[in-house]
C-alpha cells in the first residue's frame, strides 16, 4: 500500500512558489531521504504531509487527507523537527504522562526502558537538558509509539557526531522493522546514505531526481580517471568532473561498467557528490 | 511478543483531561499568584491583630447593620482582592495561551500528537472559565477561614470572639462566593475568548492588540459623535455582572438574584460573542505554525 500519494501538489506563499506540481508516491516500508538546498521546499512538503499547511492538488497520507484530519492522522504518524521543538518548561515525567494520556499507540514502558539507557533524569525539565539529551528524549517518545510513518526534519541538526551516529543507529536497530515508513530531510547527507532505501532531490519546489537506492547504485558510477585516458573519458559525457588531489574524478550516469572500468578506478559515488552535480546542472 | 503490547495500547486516552493538566503544569501563575495575594492578606490581618479588640468594641457600639458591615468588611475585602486577581491572571493567561506555543515552537510538537485544535483551544478556555474560579474559591475560603482563626484567637481573651460569628457566616459567605465566581466567569467569557483569539492571531504584543482596538473605537466614537456607547459597553462587560447577579440595598448583604442574571440579555449576547471568538480561535490554530 502507498503510504503517501501526492498528485499535482502545489503550495504558494503569495508570489513565491514553495511547491510546484509535485507528484510523489512513497510505499510502505521505505526510508526516503529528501535532499535539497535551503528554501527548496522540503519543509513545505513535510508540512503538507503532516497537515500543518494547506495545499492545492491531491494528497493522501495513509489514506487520509492530512489538512482535514490532522488529529486522526497523528495516531499513525510521528514527527521530529529539529530538537528545539519540545517545550522547555515541561518535566520528563509530565511529558511521559501527557503523551501516554493522549496517544492511543504509546507504550510507556518502552519509552521508560529507552530512557533508562540514557543519563536523562525523570525530574529534569527539558530546559535543563543538553541538546543531545533533548533529541534522545524525543526519540524515546517516538520509538515508543507504534506509528506507521515517521517524519524527520533535520533531526540531528546541531548535535555532535556521537549523538548523530547513535540517533541513526537507534532508529535502525531498535525502531525500523520494515512495516514502518520513514521520511528524512537532512543536510548531513553522508550520514544517511547507508540508511536510505529511496532518494529524492528537490529544488525550487520541484522534484529533480527520484530513484531507489538500488537504482542509484546501478545508475551512477564515479571513476578516478587515469590522466592519460581523461580525453577518452570526457567523450562519454560525464555528469560532472572534479579534482581530488590532482586526479580527475568523473561522475557518469547509465554507462557500460566494463567500458568505464578500463578508464581508471571505479567507485560508488556519494549522494552528496551526485547532489552537487545535479544542482550545478540545474542552475539556470 | 506483540499480543500483550496490543492490549496495553488499547487503553482509553483522555486528551481533554490531560490538555487541561498540561496548561496547569505550564502556567503556575494560575495558583501561585492567588496564593501570594492570600499570603499578603493574612500577613495584613496578623499585623493589624493588636488593634482588633479596640476596633471590635467600637463596632459593637454601632447599630446592627453598620456593625455587621464593619465586622464583615475585612473578609469581603479579601474576597474582592482575590476576585480581581483571578480576572487579571485569567486575562494574561489567555493573552499568552496560543502565543507562547508558537513563540517557543512547541506548537510543532503539540500538533504532532493526536489532539485536535478543538480540544486544545477548549482546554485553554477551561483555565479562566473553570480552573481559575475553582482555585480562587478554594484559596478564598481557606484565607477567610484562617482570618477567622486569627480574629478568634485575638478576641478570645477579651470575650469578644463570639461577636464575629453573629455577623459573619463562613458557610453562607462561601455560597455567595461560589455563585459570584460562576456569574463573573460567564459574564467575562467574551473577554477571555477575545484574548485567546488575539493570542492565536497576533505575531507579537498580544496585550496591545487586545486592548488598543477597543480603545481606538471608543476614542473614535467620542471624537466623531461625542458619545460613549462603546466605552460604556466595555465597562459593562467588566463590571456589569454585579447589578444583574446581585440586588443591593444599603447596609445589608447583597442578595443573589440568579433569575434576573439568567434573563439579562447582556449575559447571552456576551456568551454568543464568546462562542464566536472561540470558534475563530480554533479555526485559526489550524493555520498557525511556529513564529
> Is residue B16 situated within a structural domain?
no
> Is residue A185 situated within a structural domain?
yes
Nearest residue in B to A102, CA atom: B15
Q: What is the DSSP string of A151-174?
A: EEESTTTT--HHHHHHHHHHIIII
> Is residue B263 situated within a structural domain?
yes
pLDDT by residue, tens only, chain A of 284 residues = 789 999 999 999 888 888 988 999 999 989 999 998 888 888 899 999 999 999 999 999 999 999 999 999 999 999 988 755 899 999 999 999 999 999 999 999 999 998 998 999 999 999 999 988 898 899 899 989 988 999 998 888 878 888 888 888 888 887 777 788 999 998 888 888 888 999 999 998 999 999 999 898 888 988 888 888 888 888 888 888 888 888 888 888 888 888 888 888 888 888 888 888 888 876 55
A114 and A230, same domain (yes or no): no
Our measurement of the distance from residue B60's CA atom to the centroid of its chain's CA atoms, rounded to an integer in Å, reads 35
Domain count, chain B: 1
A126 and A245, same domain (yes or no): no
Question: What is the predicted ipTM?
Answer: 0.88
- DSSP H/E element including A35: strand A31-35
A36 and A170, same domain (yes or no): yes
> Is residue A141 situated within a structural domain?
yes
> Is residue B123 situated within a structural domain?
yes
Nearest Cα to Cα of residue B104 among B290, B285, B281: B290
A128 and A238, same domain (yes or no): no
User: What residues of A are in contact with residue B3 (Cβ under 8 Å)?
Assistant: none
CB B86 within 8 A of CB B139: no
B197-to-B83, B116, B184 alpha-carbon distances in Å: 23, 17, 20
Our measurement of the distance from residue A84's CA atom to the centroid of its chain's CA atoms, rounded to an integer in Å, reads 18
A162 and A57, same domain (yes or no): yes
pTM, entire model: 0.88
Q: Which of A81, A97, A105 sits opposite B108 (nearest CB)?
A: A81
Q: How far is the C-alpha of B91 from the C-alpha of B31, rounded, in Å?
A: 14
Do residue A71 and residue B116 have CB atoms under 8 angstroms apart? yes
Do residue A103 and residue B13 have CB atoms under 8 angstroms apart? yes
A77 and A145, same domain (yes or no): yes
CA distance A196 to chain B (A): 23
What are the grid coordinates assigned to B128, written together? 479562566
Nearest residue in A to B119, CA atom: A71
A31 and A152, same domain (yes or no): yes
pLDDT given at position A239: 86
Question: Strand (E) positions, chain B?
Answer: 246-247, 255-256
**Domain, as residue range, for A183:** 2-204
Q: What is the DSSP string of A67-107?
A: TT-HHHHTTSEEEE-SGGGS-TT-BHHHHHHHHHHH-TTB-
CB B281 within 8 A of CB B193: yes
Per-residue burial over B183-205, b = 16 or more CB atoms within 10 Å of its CB, e = otherwise: bbbbbbbbbbbbbbbbbbbbeee
Nearest Cα to Cα of residue B19 among A105, A90, A72, A49: A90
Q: How far is the C-alpha of A73 from the C-alpha of A61, rounded, in Å?
A: 8
pLDDT along chain B (291 residues), means of 10: 43 91 95 97 90 85 83 90 96 96 92 94 97 97 94 86 82 92 97 97 95 94 93 92 86 82 94 97 92 82
> Is residue A212 situated within a structural domain?
no
> Is residue A41 situated within a structural domain?
yes
pLDDT given at position A83: 53
pLDDT given at position B2: 41
User: What residues of B are in contact with residue A74 (Cβ under 8 Å)?
Assistant: 111-115
pLDDT given at position A135: 87
Last residue of a domain, one of A140, A175, A204: A204
Domain count, chain A: 2
> Is residue B84 situated within a structural domain?
yes
A187 and A95, same domain (yes or no): yes
> Is residue A169 situated within a structural domain?
yes
A116 and A189, same domain (yes or no): yes
> Is residue B229 situated within a structural domain?
yes
> In CATH, what number is assigned to the domain containing residue A190?
3.40.50.300
CA distance B33 to chain A (A): 18
CA distance B184 to chain A (A): 31
First-residue to last-residue Cα distance in chain A: 38
CA angle, B222 then B225 then B229, to 5°: 60
Helices of type H across B104-169: 107-110, 117-126, 132-155, 161-167
CA angle, B180 then B181 then B186, to 5°: 100
> Is residue A236 situated within a structural domain?
yes
A45 and A104, same domain (yes or no): yes
pLDDT given at position B252: 67
A176 and A273, same domain (yes or no): no
Residue from A71, A96, A144, A154 whose CB has the most chain B CBs within 10 Å, to mutate:
A71
> Is residue B86 situated within a structural domain?
yes
> Is residue A211 situated within a structural domain?
no
Nearest residue in A to B285, CA atom: A52
**Domain, as residue range, for B273:** 27-287
A155 and A271, same domain (yes or no): no
Last residue of a domain, one of A204, A226, A261: A204
pLDDT given at position A84: 55
> Is residue B169 situated within a structural domain?
yes
pLDDT given at position B116: 94
> Is residue B6 situated within a structural domain?
no
Amino acid at each position: 500500500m502507498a503510504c503517501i500519494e501526492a498528485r499535482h501538489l502545489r503550495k504558494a506563499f503569495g508570489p513565491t512558489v514553495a511547491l510546484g506540481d509535485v507528484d510523489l508516491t512513497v510505499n510502505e516500508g521505505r526510508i526516503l531521504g529528501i535532499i535539497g538546498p535551503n528554501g527548496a521546499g522540503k519543509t513545505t512538503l513535510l508540512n503538507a504531509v503532516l497537515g500543518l499547511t494547506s495545499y492545492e492538488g491531491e494528497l493522501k497520507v495513509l489514506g487520509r487527507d492530512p489538512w482535514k484530519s490532522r488529529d486522526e492522522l497523528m495516531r499513525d504518524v510521528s514527527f521530529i523537527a529539529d530538537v528545539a521543538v519540545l517545550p522547555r518548561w515541561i518535566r520528563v515525567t509530565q511529558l511521559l504522562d501527557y503523551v501516554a494520556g493522549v496517544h492511543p499507540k504509546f507504550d510507556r514502558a518502552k519509552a521508560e526502558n529507552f530512557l533508562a539507557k540514557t543519563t536523562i533524569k525523570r525530574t529534569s525539565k527539558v530546559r535543563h537538558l543538553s541538546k543531545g539529551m533533548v533529541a534522545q528524549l524525543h526519540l524515546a517518545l517516538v520509538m515508543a509509539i507504534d506509528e506507521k510513518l515517521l517524519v524527520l526534519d533535520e533531526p540531528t541538526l546541531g548535535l555532535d557526531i556521537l549523538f548523530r551516529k547513535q540517533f541513526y543507529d537507534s532508529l535502525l536497530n531498535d525502531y525500523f522493522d520494515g512495516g514502518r515508513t520513514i521520511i528524512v530531510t537532512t543536510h548531513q547527507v553522508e550520514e544517511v546514505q547507508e540508511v536510505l532505501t529511496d532518494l529524492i532531490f528537490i529544488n525550487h519546489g520541484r522534484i529533480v531526481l527520484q530513484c531507489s537506492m538500488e537504482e542509484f547504485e546501478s545508475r551512477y558510477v564515479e571513476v578516478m580517471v587515469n590522466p592519460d585516458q581523461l580525453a577518452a573519458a570526457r567523450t562519454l559525457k560525464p555528469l560532472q568532473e572534479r579534482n581530488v588531489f590532482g586526479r580527475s574524478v568523473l561522475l557518469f550516469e547509465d554507462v557500460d561498467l566494463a567500458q568505464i572500468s578500463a578508464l581508471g578506478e571505479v567507485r560508488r559515488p556519494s549522494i552528496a557528490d551526485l547532489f552537487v552535480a545535479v544542482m550545478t546542472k540545474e542552475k539556470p | 511478543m506483540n499480543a500483550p503490547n496490543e492490549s496495553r495500547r488499547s487503553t482509553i486516552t483522555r486528551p481533554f483531561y490531560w490538555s487541561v493538566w498540561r496548561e496547569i503544569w505550564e502556567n503556575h501563575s494560575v495558583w501561585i499568584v492567588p496564593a501570594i495575594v492570600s499570603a499578603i492578606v493574612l500577613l495584613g490581618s496578623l499585623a493589624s491583630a493588636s488593634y482588633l479588640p479596640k476596633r471590635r468594641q467600637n463596632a459593637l457600639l454601632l447599630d446592627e447593620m453598620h456593625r455587621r458591615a464593619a465586622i464583615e468588611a475585612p473578609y469581603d475585602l479579601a474576597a474582592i482582592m482575590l476576585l480581581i486577581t483571578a480576572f487579571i491572571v485569567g486575562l494574561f493567561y489567555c493573552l499568552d495561551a496560543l502565543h507562547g506555543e508558537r513563540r517557543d515552537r512547541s506548537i510543532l510538537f503539540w500538533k504532532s500528537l493526536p489532539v485536535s485544535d478543538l480540544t486544545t483551544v477548549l482546554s485553554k478556555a477551561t483555565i479562566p472559565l473553570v480552573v481559575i474560579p475553582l482555585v480562587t474559591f478554594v484559596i478564598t475560603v481557606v484565607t477567610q477561614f484562617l482570618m477567622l482563626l486569627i480574629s478568634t484567637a485575638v478576641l478570645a481573651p477579651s470575650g469578644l470572639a463570639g461577636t464575629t460569628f453573629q455577623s459573619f457566616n463562613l458557610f453562607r459567605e462561601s455560597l455567595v462566593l461560589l455563585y459570584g465566581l460562576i456569574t463573573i466567569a460567564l459574564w467575562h467569557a467574551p473577554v477571555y475568548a477575545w484574548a485567546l483569539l488575539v493570542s492565536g492571531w497576533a505575531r507579537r504584543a498580544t496585550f496591545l492588540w487586545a486592548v488598543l482596538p477597543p480603545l481606538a473605537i471608543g476614542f473614535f466614537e467620542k471624537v466623531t459623535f461625542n458619545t460613549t456607547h462603546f466605552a460604556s459597553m466595555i465597562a459593562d462587560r467588566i463590571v456589569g455582572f454585579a447589578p444583574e447577579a446581585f440586588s443591593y440595598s444599603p447596609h445589608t448583604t447583597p442578595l443573589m438574584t440568579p433569575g434576573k442574571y439568567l434573563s439579562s440579555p447582556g449575559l447571552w449576547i456576551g456568551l454568543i460573542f464568546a462562542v464566536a471568538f472561540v470558534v475563530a480561535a480554533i479555526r485559526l490554530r489550524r493555520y498557525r505554525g511556529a513564529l
